[in-house]
Amino acid sequence: MNFVKIEERIPLLEQILLGWKNTIAFEYNGYRNHVYRMIHFCLALRECSEEEREKIIIAGAFHDIGIWIEDTVDYIPPSIPPAMDYLKERNLGAWSEEIKLMIAEHHKVRSYRDTAYPLVEVFRKGDLVDFSFGTVKFGISATYIREIKAKFPNSDFHKNLGRRAIRWFWQHPLNPAPMMKW
């Protein structure tokens, strides 16, 4: 595993997230920190080119944004269009399929096996390291996970997701986790 230098501020990520700050509102710091944690975990899982790093940052910024767009736990479908719009506006349409898959498959329970898009699996794993509070490591050292968590605290991100999940469960008891995929 790579031990990646901790970047306290990633300009591209800050630029993208700033456009969503009012939408995310009081949960902004929690989401921002979650994205920083998962990006660092992704980069620790795979040595990336600059282009791959940029793809991870863009997908990271948008991967859960549908939570606030639709105020829902079924947030993956509404998270994809803003990412596609962002790519189109910046003439990065060639990345669309891969970034769409990174977002769409990031809660896949089983490994993503299409070798044409290796970042999809890296992204899934990076998110799972954070979602599991670091109990699932995929070879990332516990020390590095602790350092990332200390630098980018949870700020109630998981607590706020839990509140939404409970509300969703009461409204949709037969579909308690719509964002999960096999």
pLDDT digits (tens, 9 = 90+) for 142-151: 999 999 999 9
Q: What is the pLDDT of residues 94-116, one digit of tens each?
A: 999 999 999 999 988 889 998 89
Dist. CA 57–CA 146, nearest whole Å: 21
Indicate if the alpha-carbon torsion angle 162, 163, 168, 169 is positive or negative. Answer: positive
Split at pLDDT 50, 70, 90, the class of 71 is confident
CA-to-CA separations, 116 to 32, 48, 164, in angstroms, rounded: 29, 15, 35
Question: Does the pLDDT value for residue 171 go beyond 70?
Answer: no
> In which band, very low, low, confident or very high, does the pLDDT at 63 lie, cut at 50, 70 and 90?
very high
Is the pLDDT higher at 159 or at 180?
159
Give the per-residue pLDDT at 53: 98
Residues 6 or more apart whose CB falls under 8 angstroms from that of 159 comprise none
Q: Which two tokens stand for residue 11?
A: 């300009």
Task: Report DSSP state, residue 167.
Answer: H
Closest CA to 161 of 24, 55, 56: 24
pLDDT in tens, 4-31: 899 999 999 999 999 999 999 999 999 9
